[in-house]
Chain A
Amino acid sequence: MGRKILLENSDIPNIKSFDVFRAHGGYVSVEKALKTMAPDEIIEEVKKSGLRGRGGAAFPTGLKWTFLDRKSNKPRYLVCNGDESEPGTFKDRYLMEKLPHLLIEGMICSSFALGVNTAYIYIRGEFKYLLGILNQAINEAYKNGFLGKNILGTNFSLDMYVHPGAGAYICGEETALLESLEGKRGNPRIKPPFPAVVGLYDCPTVVNNVETLANVGYIVNFGGDAYASIGLGKSTGTKLISACGKINNPGVYEIELGMSVEDFIYKEEFCGGIKDNLELKAVVPGGSSVPIVPKKIILFTASGEKRLMTYESLAEGGFESGTMLGSGGFIVYDQNACIVRNTWNFSRFYHHESCGQCSPCREGTGWMEKILWRIEHGFGNMKDIDLLVSIADKIEGNTICPLGDAAAWPVASAIRHFREDFIFHVQYPEIIKNIKHGALYKYENQD
């Protein structure tokens, strides 16, 4: 336990610069891939590694790569999805900020495997400070012959660009990202056709998360089997978890998949327990869009086993008694947390970020937010709780892109597991109105 793949060198001073990164074994995988391996071999290794998409959907990366349309004579593109906007998730920006060359290295190997000559890194608009870091890293890679024409004297050429979005959550959805990259309004496309066939500029395109691509370098270096030996079962490798909320040590941790959730929350080298020795109330283990679950469910599965930090274990029991690992945004709530307020806050976010293209999401997210606002502010009634469940149920699965599901799940799960909180809000509006939250609470209790 405790092996690291991505963040092993992150503490070395100036690892951002090409020379330091190269001195610590950087870009070795590019040399290995380009000089000794065939593109198909790399894809085979990635398949063997069992690497799964780290952006949230956990689709096997090797399988995704095989869907890429190679028969058409169109150019192919690789797009790195750095539009990390999920509330609670902040792993990709850490990776790009600390180790930009690790991403570029992984992208060169991936591009070679996929036969791509143009690769894009799409970062969200709020990550403007990363633009300079990434551009500098790319320039250094160009100068040292790892990007550009005939890399390392081979026939392989690759150009790489960084493109900042304008700050919309929906542009993290792969087809909306492609629209945005093309300079259009960031509306998700209707699938099929999938980006692997008709993607960027109508050409075959692979879209992968930052963390996924950063893992490719290791897989090329040490082989897919070495990567698969880390982790547990189908959840291979390591995962960056961005832990936040009421814990003693918030931050980004690289964990080996298979560790128990209890260890992750209470061990000193990870979250370090709940702040002020309070009781754990609830956890959102994978960014705001995955279902929120109470203590007894996050620590133990329905069959009474310890819950592990793997895709399968967290999802065990479906949504009745499970949740998802998602993108790894681990949010912890202590006993004083107001689940209704939290749900309203998430709902407000999805209402604000819905693109407005398809009707269930456009109208439903706004409706849910308004009802949750009423309940939270003491104007709710009992019917509203069931109405919320009904709306969430009707948004889920009926939308173009997963944003509708992402908006529905937190609401449905909060009511499923914390219905008494909602009932309390409806029954005692006067008490609710007098509770001060967040900054206001601190301000009033200063002396």
Chain B
Amino acid sequence: MLKLTIDHQTIEVAEGTTILQAARKIGGSVVPPAMCWYSKLEGSGGKCRTCLVKVSEGSAKDPRPLPKLVASCRTPVIDGMVVQNKTSPEVLEARKAIVEFLLINHPLDCPVCDQAGECDLQDLSYDNGKVSCRYQESRREFDVIDIGNLIKLHMNRCILCYRCVYVADQISGKRIHGILYRGDVSEISTYIKNSIDHNFSGNVIDVCPVGALTDKTFRFKNRVWFLKPMTAHRDCPTCSGKVIAWMRGSEIYRITGRKDEFGEVEEFICNECRFEKKNINDWIVEGPTTLKRHSVISQNHYKEIKTPSVINPLEEKMETQTNDE
């Protein structure tokens, strides 16, 4: 077992655990945010740089600090490591910068985006971002395209986390989805715009941290915070059938996979469950879901709010920002 200290909290973890995984075991405020890393997707992570942390002591043997901030999602724990996340001003500064970088080419069309209310980028920028923007150049623009007949791609909103690429790679087993071009004009695409023709392709919607990939059967039907998330299941021949049914009255608006407290899908679900079974009779509804994510959606009573983390910090931030300027 390896000993790791994050923000003065100590935990023992097994060999091969990354700093982020260890932090998630502790939970709470020591967990660095992650926009690209996904525990279920092998090879993901290291790209968005929001999970950067400071290693103030490299190991028990060699307690020198590491020269640069490291991506906690891909850095394995070494015995005796001391890590600073929220306690390091350097980390907070870097994270603020990353949020700014992620937002400069993001269209900020939240009012018309289906992801609004459950968007990782919204959460991230509420927690770490600034209210003002220093970017005055033109943003990159792409056309909205269909990826197959069930998924819509808004490339403008994409933050190039590569999660969907890993889903397509690992679930389908053949390379049908990837990144074209490079730099800030790179875009995700299916192989020569072929549709993703696979029974589990809908999971790219769930893993997308922003509203770049959206469910065509749900687009513009409703805002997520008006819907009631209900835990439901059915006897599905292809997948586990364990889902969340998003309901209004007795009508099911959409089906998604069940997500854990870090916003990760617990089990991938098949396209039949996701897109076709929209009738209440198809499902056995177990009851209301306790959403553990802090987002706009958790304003309703489906979440026991431990720390008032949504409304108040933002107001405070706005006040401090206006005082600054």
Q: What is A's interface to B at a CB cutoff of 8 Å? A: 168, 170, 185, 190, 192, 351-360, 362-367, 370-371, 387, 394, 397-400
Contacts and interface: CB of A to CB of B under 8 A. Distances in A.
Interface of A is mostly: helix
A92 B162 CA distance: 35
Nearest to A370: B137
Interface of B: 45-50, 52, 68-69, 71, 74-76, 94, 97-98, 100-102, 104-105, 134-135, 137-138, 159-160, 162, 178-179, 181-186
Contacts of A365: 183-184
B182 A168 contact: yes
A189 to B, nearest CB: 9
A163 B213 CA distance: 37
Given A185-B178, A351-B184, A367-B135, A358 B97 contact: no
Contacts of B76: 192
Closest 5 CB pairs of A and B: A394-B97, A190-B46, A356-B186, A363-B101, A370-B137
B71 to A, nearest CB: 7
A366 B105 CA distance: 10
A140 B162 CA distance: 45
A393 to B, nearest CB: 8
Nearest to A351: B183
26 contacts: A170-B182, A190-B46, A190-B71, A351-B183, A351-B184, A353-B183, A354-B184, A356-B182, A359-B49, A360-B97, A363-B102, A363-B104, A363-B105, A363-B184, A365-B184, A366-B105, A367-B101, A367-B135, A370-B138, A371-B137, A394-B94, A394-B97, A397-B68, A398-B69, A400-B46, A400-B49
Contacts of B97: 360, 394, 398
Contacts of B134: 387
Contacts of B182: 168, 170, 353-356
B47 A400 contact: yes
Contacts of B48: 358-359
A363 B46 CA distance: 16
Given A362-B183, A398-B49, A400-B46, 7 more contacts: A170-B182, A190-B74, A353-B183, A354-B183, A359-B101, A366-B183, A394-B101
Contacts of A399: 49
A366 B140 CA distance: 10
A170 B186 CA distance: 14
Contacts of A353: 182-183
A218 to B, nearest CB: 33
Nearest to B102: A359
A170 B69 CA distance: 22
B137 A356 contact: no
Interface of B is mostly: loop
A362 to B, nearest CB: 5
Nearest to B134: A387
Contacts of B159: 359
Nearest to A363: B101
A358 B135 contact: no
Nearest to A170: B182
Contacts of A400: 46-47, 49, 71
B120 to A, nearest CB: 13
Nearest to B184: A366
A394 B93 CA distance: 9
A49 B193 CA distance: 54
Contacts of B49: 358-360, 398-400
Contacts of A170: 182
Contacts of B68: 397-398
A400 B101 CA distance: 15
Nearest to A381: B136
A421 B31 CA distance: 45
B159 to A, nearest CB: 7
A351 B71 CA distance: 23
A398 B98 contact: yes
B107 to A, nearest CB: 14
Contacts of A354: 182-184
Contacts of B71: 190, 400
B33 to A, nearest CB: 13
A365 B105 CA distance: 12
Contact of A367 (B104, B178, B186): B104
Contacts of B162: 357
A403 to B, nearest CB: 10
Contacts of A394: 94, 97, 100-101
Nearest to B101: A363
A370 B102 CA distance: 16
Contact of A356 (B50, B160, B178): B160
Contacts of A398: 49, 52, 68-69, 94, 97-98
A367 B184 CA distance: 10
Contacts of A362: 101, 160, 183-184, 186
A342 to B, nearest CB: 21
A359 B69 contact: no
A286 B168 CA distance: 42
A293 B175 CA distance: 47
A190 B102 contact: no
Contacts of A355: 182-183, 186
Nearest to A397: B68
Contacts of A356: 160, 179, 181-186
A370 B181 CA distance: 19
B45 to A, nearest CB: 7
B16 to A, nearest CB: 12
B137 A359 contact: no
B26 to A, nearest CB: 23
Contact of B137 (A352, A358, A367, A397): A367
Contacts of B160: 356-357, 359, 362
Contacts of B135: 367
Nearest to A374: B137
Contact of B47 (A358, A364, A387): A358
